[in-house]
Structure 1
Amino acid sequence: MTGRFTRRGVLATALAAMLAATAPITQASAQTIRTDVNIGVRLEPPHLDPTAGAAAAIDEITYANIFEGLTRIDAEGAVKPWLAKSWEISEDGLTYTFLLQEGVKFHDGTDFDANDAKFSLDRARGEFSTNAQKPLFEGIGEVEVVDPTTLKVTLKKPNGAFLFNLGWGDAAMVAEETASSNTSKPIGTGPFKLVQWVQGDRIELAKNAEYWGEPAQLDRATFRIIADPAAELAALMAGDIDAFPNFQATENLPMLAADPRFTVAVGSTEGETILAMNNKKGPLADVRVRRAISHAVDRQAVIDGAMFGNGTPIGSHFAPHHPAYVDLTDTYPLDLDKAKALLAEAGYADGFKATLKLPPPTYARRGGELIASDLKKIGIELEIVPLEWAQWLSEVFKNKDFDFTIISHTEPMDINIYGRKDYYFQYDSEAFDKVMAELETTTEEQARYKLLGDAQRIIAEDAVNVFLFQLAKAGVWSANLKGMWVNSPIQANDLTGVHWE
């Protein structure tokens, strides 16, 4: 199916597929092993350069498929060698010497070497960098090319997370000759190349026959953009889509789990889902108002109503599965009387009006209705403004033109965003900055965990945002499709191990 999905069309096709589901599989069809896959995604990326945008939808297409970094984050969240096959770290923790893979070529046939690696890191940290995660690279003092396969990176101060940071999509290796056009014509070193991008419909990848590493088992992969949850289910039932790594219509998971044609896998993500507040705008600049709002939102009702129970409550911006996690979910118990008292103390006894700008994901659209109802009980009237993804990135993330929004931050270990003065929710705390500065120079594991705990407590106490839940990853795919990630330790639909049986 090559056209855009329509609700009526996919429902009709789904009915036919369900009626045919009990038909016997012929021996010929059973012996045919497919080498293509159709994957459904809910958000279309604004472009395809992971080094120049914050949208998770970019990495969900490109990470490990089109672009690669010096290190990589695997399915278990561990740091692994990648374009750097090994490295040595100096005793003072400041100098990293990377030995690069040999024989690596970009998709346009040009060689990848240490000069490209230097360009990529210098570009990410440079004065005119558009990298959404530029702070990850600001600790780099100098990048030197020792020889074509050896790169030396000297840090300004030790950073225990440096190798992990190099595994983000934002640290992908690019060539100077093609970097400016990667948004629409991505040229990486990965096992897949871009074939075509039909905007609003699909992104097609093909196997890179000249790949330097273990070749992909798939010859072709198509990512189809399907934003509507009902259309997701219909496309899956009809066989038009083989996999939804992040399935939105979670109310249908029990039915799909009982169907032998499908595998249903509910895993974890790095997605802290928050009701984000503009900390420098109007009433929200007062911590008492933010605390009142935190007392008024029924988190469990949001999880139950928007996610059909799939989600773990959180009390700060940190993943519950991480060993440094501190359970702060009792910091703001549901208490409407307390919320009203705090509003009155701040001078807003009669409440106020504000906007709630919502991006397309289901958790935001469904959750927004529930939260608007919660806040109305304490006198806060929210005007719900649905936005498309590009609008949200422009109005909310870039221009900070919002009061409230709901978003899931899926970057791993990203509590450091609360130290960025120009970040969209505009939080500013000397106490938090002090903890993060100490964390950057601390390498001992337990000491880092203590500092991470302190950071979690500070942003919870300041009620920077309403911390809702850790986003669950509900994946559904064909029972014969293997190698899909159950968890999402990083924003990725890594196809390098995906195959049919």
Structure 2
Amino acid sequence: MTTHPRGVLAPTRRAFLLSTAAIALAGALPGFSFGDEPKQGGTLTVNIGTEPPVLVLIAHTAGAAVYLSSKTNEGLLTYDFDFTPKPLLATEWKVAEDGLRYWFKLREGVKFHDGTDFTAEDVAFSIQALKENHPRGRATFAQVSSINVLGTHEIELLLDKPSPYLLTALASSESPIVPKHLYEGTKIPENPHNVAPVGTGPFVFKEWVRGSYVLYERNPNYWEAPKPYLDKLVVRFIGDPAAAVASIETGEVLLSVGVNIPYTDFDRLQANPALGFETRGFTYTNSITRAEFNLENKYLANAKVRQAIAYAIDRNFIVSTIYLGHATALNGPVSPGLAAFFSDDLPKYAFDPAKAEALLDEAGFPRGDGGVRFELNIDPTQPTGAYKQSAEYIAQALNKVGIKTTVRTQDFATFVKRVYTDRDFDIALEGMSNLFDPTVGIQRLYWSKNFKPGVPFSNGAHYASAETDRLLEAAAVEPDPKKRFELFVDFQKQVVTDLPALDLVAPDSFVIFDKRVVNHTLGAEGFGYNGADIYLAS
């Protein structure tokens, strides 16, 4: 990281043109459309189902934490539903025509929750920390060669090659800004403020009662007074599906997001006049469900075994029977929600148990005693709901072709440690976010350089392909949309052929909310935004 006096730019970057789409007027605030006059006060109780291991996503991508991290630690930008960037901690920005310089004017008068002033030094430190420690940040900021502080509230990023997705990667949940004075000189992934956050956001962390809830209180010194409108935010972890439904129906919980709600309860919940269902606000995440293979396993290292498993599983059965139609079957790693990069022109593994049996024989694993070829374990990311049910179905399907498969369940933190630190798994059934761009959301899962034991939600398969790496790295810096799409199609064909993971379904995403909760979803980030505008109507 280098620091220059205000106004001193690297010589090769002096001349640049402004990207019209990337300029915001100083002091402008997000142009969202609100309802009636906001009401001050009240407590919002939210259920996110799974308890995350951290509360700030500076060095982690724990799924449910996306709804928490942003409430305390804001990013530079926020986004409309169409991904138009809006000011947050940055008030102005300019992008050079060649895509190699990003300039930001930062908001003045902002303080961290401990009273310390927010400055460009915090932004520079945070971006470097994300680049070095965040599972996706390695790819997101890979081309950032220099982070230059130009003044107390002015900063520039200089890139070696274009990163066409970068301006969309600066949301609070994806690229949070942390206080340099509390993180500098520490091991970022182990910093105690990852579980007791200090940020600039509208809510101040108060306590985390493990296994139960996190309590936040209104930030009285928030930079956008009179926001936030809520006095308190209570985030609960009700993982049991029946209890989660009961909490909604009794009004114990006013908003549920990312929760394993039984699909059999949907009709009744949707008929409740006090409740609403919101399906917008998930285009920043675009989650899918996949079965990741541990390629260090002697059986799964064989491509024919992986192909046999793919033929043994009926994804349409998972959609119709487990999700009751609230999901889309997948043939590749890109969600249909990521329409600009989606292709269905890929190799297919249609449900064909006989073909699975033949491939297992060819691989040299005939049926033995009791008809068993070999044994595997499958670990669902959550111990209840659709993940567990899908794992149980997959185990049954594999047992039918001679692979004795055992379902192991554990809490989320144990799952993460088992798969990414201990590497004590065979098949991990997990949800993964494509996010808003494949370089940010998908590359981490297949890029050989992102095999980092101990770093969650990275290349857990330990997959390494020179051709896949080439395609991913070329697409990451390709500014031409058509050429970039073609590179990502070739990438999809390559990984579907190699099959380090079997992509299963793209579940429908939704927020269930009491209709008194206003402004919970205002843009592409959904409830993953900072929540400053949420209020409770009478």
What TM-score, normalized by structure 2, do the two folds share? 0.82
Cα separation, 1, equivalents of 2:329 and 2:72: 34
CA gap of 1:382–1:344, structure 2 versus 1, over 3 A, is same
Does residue 371 (structure 1) correspond to residue 386 (structure 2)? The answer is no
Does residue 343 in structure 1 map to residue 322 in structure 2?
Answer: no
> Aligned-pair distance for 1:472?
1.5
| Structure 1, unaligned runs of 5 or more | 1-31
Q: 1:97 aligns with which of 92, 98, 103?
A: 103
The residue aligned with 2:11 is none
Aligned partner of 1:325 in structure 2 is 342
Contact between 1:354 and 1:383, CA under 8 Å: does it hold in 2? yes
| Counterpart residue number, 1:258 | 271
Alignment partner, residue 26 of structure 1: none
Whether 1:218 and 2:218 are equivalent positions in the alignment is: no
Q: Contact 2:204/2:219 (CA < 8 Å) preserved in 1?
A: yes
The equivalent residue for 2:462 is 426
Which deviations, in whole Å up to 9, do the C-alpha atoms of 1:383-421 show, x marking residues without a partner?
Answer: 111121111111102332210011010251322121134
1:430-481 CA distance string (max 9 Å, x none) = 1111111211221122222222222111111212211111122132111222
Measured in 2, the distance between the counterparts of 1:79 and 1:387 equals 39
Partner of residue 399 from structure 1, selected from 405, 413, 422: 422
Partner of 1:199: 210
For residues 285-300 of structure 1, the aligned pairs below 5 Å read 285-300=301-316
Hey, what does 1:24 align to over in structure 2? none
SS in 2 for 1:110: coil
Match of 2:500 in 1: 464
Q: SS in structure 1 opposite 2:310?
A: helix
Q: Is the 8 A contact 1:411 1:491 kept in 2?
A: no
Counterpart CA distance in 2 for 1:168 and 1:495 is 11
* SS in structure 2 at match of 1:153: strand
- Distance in 2 between residues matched to 1:490 and 1:415, nearest whole Å: 20
Matched residue count: 468
1:164 corresponds to which residue? 168
Q: Would you say the 8 A contact 1:39–1:244 is kept in 2?
A: yes
Summarize deviations over 1:62-119 as a string: whole Å, max 9, x none.
22x1111122345554443321222222233211111111111111111111111111
Q: Is the 8 A contact 1:314 1:328 kept in 2?
A: no
Offset, 1:35 = 2.4
- 2:200·2:222 contact (CA, 8 Å) conserved in 1? yes
Matches of 1:415 and 1:198 in 2, distance apart?
33
Letter in 2 for 1:249: P
Q: Is the 8 A contact 1:56 1:491 kept in 2?
A: no
Structure 1 counterpart of 2:53, which letter?
A: P
> 1:60 aligned to 62, 67, 76, which one?
67
Match 1:386 to one of 381, 403, 409: 409
Gaps of 5+ in 2: 1-38, 184-190, 368-372, 452-458
- Which of 375, 378, 383 is 1:353 aligned to? 375
SS of the residue 1:203 aligns to = strand
Return the match for 2:117 from 84, 89, 111: 111
Q: CA deviation digits over 1:270-315, x for unaligned, max 9?
A: 1111011112321111111111111111112112333222111111
Q: Paired residue for 2:29?
A: none
State, as a whole percentage, how many aligned pairs show the same letter.
26
Partners of 1:487 and 1:400 lie apart in 2 by: 37
Secondary structure of the equivalent of 1:343? Answer: helix
Q: Is the 8 A contact 1:52 1:132 kept in 2?
A: no
SS in 2 for 1:197: strand
Moved more, 353-362 or 336-345: 353-362
**1:137-156 superposed matches below 5 A:** 137-156=141-160
1:13 paired residue number: none
- Secondary structure of the structure 2 residue equivalent to 1:174: coil
In structure 1, how many angstroms separate the alpha carbons of the residues matched to 2:409 and 2:522? Answer: 30
Structure 2 vs 1, CA of residues 453 and 131 (structure 1 numbering), >3 Å: closer, same or farther?
closer
Cα gap change, 1:91 to 1:400, in 2 (>3 Å): same
Q: Is the 8 A contact 1:306 1:362 kept in 2?
A: no
In 1: Cα distance, 2:103 partner to 2:213 partner? 40
CA distance in 1, matches of 2:443, 2:527: 17
CA–CA distance in structure 2, aligned partners of residues 368 and 486 of structure 1: 34
Instruction: Check whether the contact 1:315–1:328 (CA below 8 A) recurs between aligned residues.
Output: no
Q: Offset at 1:200?
A: 0.9
Match of 1:450 in 2: 486
For residue 85 of structure 1, the aligned residue among 73, 85, 91 is 91
Report the alpha carbon displacement of residue 150 of structure 1 after superposing the two structures with TM.
0.9
Closer/same/farther in 2, CA of residues 427 and 79 from structure 1, 3 Å limit: farther
The whole-number CA distance in structure 2 between the counterparts of 1:175 and 1:354 is: 45
Distance in 2 of aligned mates of 1:486 and 1:93:
29
Question: Per the alignment, in what secondary structure is the counterpart of residue 204 of structure 2?
Answer: strand
| Aligned CA distance change for structure 1 residues 212 and 238 (closer, same or farther; 3 Å) | same
